[in-house]
Structure 1
Amino acid sequence: MGTRISFPRIDGKKAEGYLSKAAHDHAPGVVVIQEWWGLQDNIKGTCDRLALAGYDALAPDLYAGRVVPYHDHDAAEAEMKSLNFADAAQNVVRGAMVYLKQSSPKVGIIGFCMGGAVAMLSSTAPEISCVAPFYGLPPEQFLDISKIKVPVQGHFSNTDDFVTPERAKAFDAALTKVGVKHEIYGYDASHAFMNEQRDVHDRAQAEIAWGRLLKFLGENLG
């Protein structure tokens, strides 16, 4: 349904990604950030699903074409550790926002696992209107929550050892303390429960989360 495109980074270099467009012009935009596996088919499928829901969805390729098989955790960890998160957020992801803003009146950002962390690192960009991380947050020292000015919707696993329930609660409390409008949800499902290509996928919990996400996007992007 979508296609691979090139778009300018903020620093003028070139980035690539997967773009799936809504059936109508000037649709709201959503930037979709990959897991540590790279730009896998499940992320492309999320873009396609968002397009069917009425959004132009762009997933920037943070690994420049490299895709890691789901069984190879060591390779995925190596790719993630080699990623310059600040560069990805400031140049690639924000470049994707600017690209969508050429035709979209409002743009939001969602991210999964590693992508949730990148989404939150991008949450202070002036181009976005809302952010939704799924079971991923950056280390606390790299995120100044007081600078977030857009609504946040967080989705976390109640059994996660990556972003633990305690960390999710602390994130909730920190957002409350600085007055950021937000919704934080916990799910009785495993980490990465949204990924239909993996055995941790939980369809019932994923559909609940998807419904909440669409409501959130509708309220903040139109």
Structure 2
Amino acid sequence: MITLPGAGHSAYLATPPATAAPWPAVVVVHDLFGLGDDMRSQADWLAGAGYLAVVPDLFGGRAPIRCMQGAFRQLAAQRGPMFEEIDAARRWVADRDDCTGAVGIIGFCMGGGFALLMAGRPGWAVASVNYGQLPKNLEEVLSDPCPIVASYGGRDRSLPGAAGRLGRVLEHRDGEFDVKEYPQAGHGFMNRLTAASPLTPLLKVFGVSYDPEATADARSRILAFFAAQLHPGGAAAR
């Protein structure tokens, strides 16, 4: 765990174990359950694939149930302190001596919504959106996006038709994209949510469940997409 300069909030940093620096970086945006074991696991997976991975704690150490309303309010407004903290994490990791300066973003659930909005803003080389909600002004948000790889579950009761809508918008953009819906997967299919929480009852309501087959395929697509965009010869940040 580290403290991000300026923001004053803690973050989890995972570094590649077996390859020589410098590395490209990925900012990981956590879901409604906050910066817990699952998000650290996601960062460790990315670090194992050769990326500096930093997960800012957007809840500032507070209980997730206390932060939900504020998080969704900021997503709806498309501005607020959480956006600033995500961008601060990007600048911080890009300036590290062991970073190449190329930074992508990946988000899950709530974090996927933030990642999608960030994909339309400067500074990002690539975005991975995993079952993130779509804003009403999606076409405006993605008027000039960075490359996007997105994954949704066909049994996700909270986001019906999201993959199709996102794909149709991106078809009319010049950038690269990869949007896939997994018919048998539900919401949160890449996340192992095992800790007891006041939010746990929501898992059944929204059809949240881990799907190992969909996870393996989605991770393979994400790593291939990141490799093309974050390594030498890939697209530069806009």
Compute the TM-score of the two structures, normalised by the length of structure 2.
0.80
Residue in structure 1 matched with residue 16 of structure 2 by the alignment = 22
Residue in structure 1 matched with residue 202 of structure 2 by the alignment = none
Consecutive unaligned residues of structure 1, counting only runs of 5 or more, are 69-74
1:180 is aligned to 2:175: yes
Q: Which of residues 64, 71, 79 is equivalent to 2:67?
A: 79
1:133 is aligned to 2:129: yes
Deviations 1:46-99 (A, max 9, x none): 11111111110001101001244xxxxxx3xx5221223422453101111111
Residue in structure 2 matched with residue 72 of structure 1 by the alignment = none
Give the distance between the partners of 2:174 and 2:69, measured in 1 at CA: 32
Number of equivalenced pairs: 206
Q: Which amino acid aligns with 2:135?
A: P
SS of the aligned residue for 1:177 comes to: coil
Residue in structure 2 matched with residue 207 of structure 1 by the alignment = 216
1:60 is aligned to 2:56: yes
SS of the aligned residue for 1:14 comes to: coil
Give the distance between the partners of 1:43 and 1:88, measured in 2 at CA: 20
Residue in structure 2 matched with residue 118 of structure 1 by the alignment = 114
Give the distance between the partners of 1:25 and 1:128, measured in 2 at CA: 20
SS of the aligned residue for 2:80 comes to: helix
Q: Which amino acid aligns with 1:91?
A: E
Give the distance between the partners of 1:119 and 1:81, measured in 2 at CA: 18
Deviations 1:89-127 (A, max 9, x none): 531011111111113221100000000001112123432
Residue correspondence of structure 1 range 182-201 to structure 2 within 5 A: 182-187=177-182, 188-198=184-194, 200-201=209-210
Q: Say what the alpha-carbon RMSD is for the aligned residues.
A: 1.8
Percent of aligned positions that are identical: 29
Residue in structure 2 matched with residue 99 of structure 1 by the alignment = 92
Give the distance between the partners of 1:200 and 1:41, measured in 2 at CA: 16
Q: Is the 8 A contact 1:89 1:119 kept in 2?
A: no
Q: Is the 8 A contact 1:108 1:131 kept in 2?
A: yes
Give the distance between the partners of 1:204 and 1:20, measured in 2 at CA: 25
Change (3 A) 1:88 1:186: farther
Consecutive unaligned residues of structure 2, counting only runs of 5 or more, are 195-207, 232-238
Give the distance between the partners of 1:219 and 1:184, measured in 2 at CA: 16
SS of the aligned residue for 1:147 comes to: coil
